[in-house]
Amino acid sequence: MNAAIRASALRRAYFRLALGLSPAPVVVWLIGHGQPLAAVLLFCTVLTTMMIGTLVPRCAMFGPMIKHLPPSGKQVLLTIDDGPHPQHTPAILDILDRHHIKALYFLVGERAAQHPQLVREIIARGHEVCNHTQTHPATTFWMLRPVRLWQEIASCQETLTTLCPEHPPRFFRPPAGHHNLFTALIAQTLGLKMMMWSARGFDGVRTDVPTITRRIASRLKAGAIVLIHEGTPVAVEVAQAVTSLLAASGLKGDTPPASLAFGDDEMVVERRHAP
């Protein structure tokens, strides 16, 4: 990436940071002028807005993202996060082959560098590799300053492009879906579109495969983007259950077209349904 382009993106990112912090002096001024209630109200409003935009994965407040495919047709998109994994990736690839489903693999750069043959095998079997950061800092990614966030996304892009130069990633997904003021800006500068999901079963934190599958089934429809994970205790079982579900649904699981555009930017607050 051209150094001038990187510098320009970081300048814009820090400008956004400055705008985000701009209410702080107003809060201090209000307190100093005997208006603590107004200060608290402003502080809570800004903080709540920032937290919603940052921690709600499908909230497009800070930049455009893809949350679903076009509703026409019968296509769905299966996305698999957190690989490659030395045991799970080969097993899941075989499962996908049996059901004639193509998927998007959101890979962690350092794991891809450790298992380059798996990355190439994913491509060879007709799937697509995507950017899921270099080190997958799931608990801290949303609070990274612009230069560190750039390093995470750009390093993964370089790793995957080096391994598969004819198939560079075109989509990015932040760890746990958490993003901040700068994420979409930096991703777009690196030529990436940010992609979230519309159907997930929380298999990253749960191990009850029937419940995970039911949650995905409840949101499975034409245009859905389905999220599952590698590296969990039930990764292969979930992959088998979800691919069987897709096959039985009559929907077609394939990689997205080159022309896939950003979805609408409405704010979406996900609710976790009870088992």
Determine the pLDDT at residue 152. Answer: 98
The pLDDT value given to residue 263: 57
Counting as low any pLDDT under 70, the low residues of the chain are 1, 259, 261-275
Do 196 and 65 meet the contact criterion of CB atoms below 8 Å apart? yes
Determine whether 229 is an active site residue.
Answer: yes
Cβ atoms of 250 and 97 within 8 Å: the answer is no
Catalytic residue among 85, 132, 136, 229: 229
Both tokens assigned to 180? 């901040």
Angle between helices 209-218 and 235-249 (to 10 degrees): 40
For residue 256, what pLDDT is reported?
Answer: 86
pLDDT of res. 1: 62
Q: Which residue has the tokens 């380059």?
A: 116
The secondary structure of residue 142, as a DSSP letter, is: G
pTM of the model: 0.91
Is residue 203 annotated as part of the catalytic site, yes or no? no
Contact indicator for 27, 47 with CB cutoff of 8 Å: no
Q: 184-193: b or e for each residue (b if 16 or more CB lie within 10 Å)?
A: bbbbbbbebb
Contacts (Cβ under 8 Å, ≥6 apart) of 173 = 79, 81, 106, 130, 131, 132, 194, 195, 196
Contact criterion met (CB below 8 Å) for 218 and 242? no
Alpha helices per DSSP H over 75-205? 88-99, 109-114, 116-124, 146-163, 183-189
Instruction: Look up residue 220 and give its two tokens.
Output: 């499975």
Mind listing the pLDDT tens digit for each residue in 145-157?
A: 999 999 999 999 9
Q: Catalytic residue, from 68, 81, 179, 203: name it.
A: 81
To which H or E segment does residue 30 belong?
helix 23-32
